[in-house]
Amino acid sequence: MKTYNGHRSWNAWNVSLWLNGDEDFYHDWCWMPEHFSLKTAVNKLMEELPEKTPDGAVFNWLSVKLAIEENWNK
């Protein structure tokens, strides 16, 4: 059920916006599909990401997974 700009919630949308739209965050993970499983990549990102986005959305495991998973399906 996607209800907020194509995402399941404001938090999921905001995390996706930052992970895919901010150059620094994007460079933190864009190389990972060639080297890690999605689960491993999310775990590694969770170790490195701050607690929240600059807008206050929480970087939780599910929101990070949802934000980056389409890159593992290419």
Say if 1 falls within a structural domain.
no
Please give the pLDDT value at position 10. Answer: 96
The 3-state DSSP class for residue 11 equals: helix
DSSP conformation letters of 16-70: HHHHHHSHHHHHHHTTGGGTS-HHHHHHHHHHHS-SB-TTS-B--HHHHHHHHGG
Residues 49 and 27 sit within 8 Å (Cβ to Cβ): no
Say if 3 falls within a structural domain.
no
Say if 24 falls within a structural domain.
yes
Q: Is pLDDT above 90 for 72?
A: no
Q: For 1-42, what is each residue's pLDDT tens digit?
A: 678 989 999 999 999 999 999 999 999 899 999 999 999 999
Say if 26 falls within a structural domain.
yes
Please give the pLDDT value at position 1. Answer: 63
Look up the domain containing 32 and give its range: 10-72
Please give the pLDDT value at position 46. Answer: 97
pTM score above 0.75: yes
Please state the domain count of the chain: 1
Say if 20 falls within a structural domain.
yes
Which pair of tokens denotes residue 7? 């995402």
